[in-house]
Amino acid sequence: MDLTKENFETLHKTQDFLNLPASNVIEILKWDDLFVLSEESVFNAVKLWVNHDDANRKNDLAQLLTSVRLSLLPLEFLVGEVLTLCLSCAECIATIRQVIKDKTDTSFIPRDTPRRTIKGDKMALVGGNDLDMASTIDIFDGIDKSWTLSKSIGINKYNFASAVVGHWIVIIGGQNSSSESVTSVEYIDLKSGQYQILKPLNQARHGFKAVTLRRDLSTVVYAIGGFGGGILSSVEKWSRQTGDWEIITPLLVAVYWHSVSVIADKIYIAGGITLENGKKLSTNKVQMYSVETNSCTYRAPMIQRRYAHSSVALKGKIYVAGGSDYETGTILDSVEHFDPNANVWTAFTKLPKPRHGISLGCFQKKLFIMGGSGANKVFSDVWEYDETNKSWKASTNLSRIRTDTVALDIPYDSII
């Protein structure tokens, strides 16, 4: 799988690829981390595959097209290339025409999140637990291995959740300068640095998490749990088609300062602070929300109860690191990972130092730990996991101290 992702530009032109059944081609084209020059390469792979056996494969075209991120294609390419291939497919033509119409709308919100490209990657560290920390974004360039601090992003709130949609970072909820939970939602344009207002949440919340999933030719954002007049179990879903937030199936147990990770259309909500018998405590419970069934179930609990920790998915496993135990006030250095297939948590290499409010990120298939707090200090240091030596090693420091942030993969041509 890794070889296919990294060498797709070459492999999609080979006989091995052209002889694959449609189901395998669709699976490959859906990968977020397919390394391509641009989305045109993905469409060209579809075109080559269909034309390889045109008589028998035209019927698969509509389904194949659902794996192409049409909103990322230039208008002239949609008209000149995509429509030309799809002239005999009425279903495809209707979809393409809708995308063309959307792209000519000045208020257009991209349906899709760009894939990683062979040009390189960038990672953005967004948010913080006070107005000053949350006012800028720290961006890591995977080519020159350096952090760059953005100018002010114009957001006057903190403890918000964030997610990537197209070339935008969506800033959701949080607390205002009076420490009140808010419903406001904005997006930051990663090319211009400007921000615009979107429709608000139904429930004011902070200390929650947001994730994006690609569903039905569109990127969907989920806002999960948090605190707003009490600990929340509610989950809201943002639809690009309407721009509205919809309240969906709630969590089994209300939590805030938890973590979320996504594997195969399953959202895993781990730990956090919850309420039992009227008393706040940290939990090791893990809840799994299935997008397919719109239902929530429990999975095996973590080894350590924790809150204000961080998690990330890497190679089919979920890694959870740091945080604190609410009852004892102990700041944690423990790390553990979860195998969804075996439903088992396993201890992993401990952090060099206990950290609360760290950000755990996956960048170029490596684990990074960034910032966080401990011993009444906030830090800017970054650690990278050395797979060979099974240890954490020091990496390039952040531009400034940060805690309670989230790491997001962003398109390489982001310039703020």
Q: State the pLDDT at residue 94.
A: 86
HEC letters along 125-180: EECCCCHHHHCCCEEEECCCCEEEECCCCCCCCECCEEEEECCEEEEECCECCCCC
Neighbouring C-beta atoms of residue 213, cutoff 10 Å: 18
Q: State the pLDDT at residue 217.
A: 58
| Domain ranges across the chain | 2-103, 122-410
The answer to whether 339 touches 346, Cβ cutoff 8 Å, is yes
Structure tokens at 88: 């005999």
Helix ranges restricted to H, 275-381 = none
Q: State the pLDDT at residue 243.
A: 85
The answer to whether 192 touches 204, Cβ cutoff 8 Å, is no
Q: State the pLDDT at residue 32.
A: 78
SS3 of residue 390 by DSSP: coil
Q: State the pLDDT at residue 195.
A: 85
Predicted confidence (pLDDT) per residue in 53-85, tens digit: 988 898 898 889 888 988 888 888 988 899 888
User: Of 337, 338, 369, which is closest to residue 355 (Cα–Cα)?
Assistant: 369
- How are beta strands 209-215 and 195-198 bridged, if at all? unpaired
Mean pLDDT of the chain: 91
What gap in Å lies between CA 349 and CA 358, rounded to an integer?
Answer: 16
The answer to whether 336 touches 348, Cβ cutoff 8 Å, is yes
Considering the domain 2-103 in this protein, what is its CATH number? Answer: 1.25.40.420
> Helix 22-29 vs helix 39-52: angle between axes, to the nearest 10 degrees?
180
For the chain, residues with pLDDT lower than 70 are 106-111, 114, 116-120, 215-218
The answer to whether 231 touches 248, Cβ cutoff 8 Å, is no
Degrees, nearest 5: CA angle 270-275-276: 110
Helices and strands in the chain, H and E counts: 11, 28
In DSSP terms, 276 is beta-bridged to 279
Helix ranges restricted to H, 58-130 = 61-65, 75-77, 83-85, 90-103
The amino acid that residue 191 corresponds to is K
In terms of CATH architecture, what is 122-410? Answer: 6 Propeller (2.120)
What gap in Å lies between CA 241 and CA 17, rounded to an integer?
Answer: 34
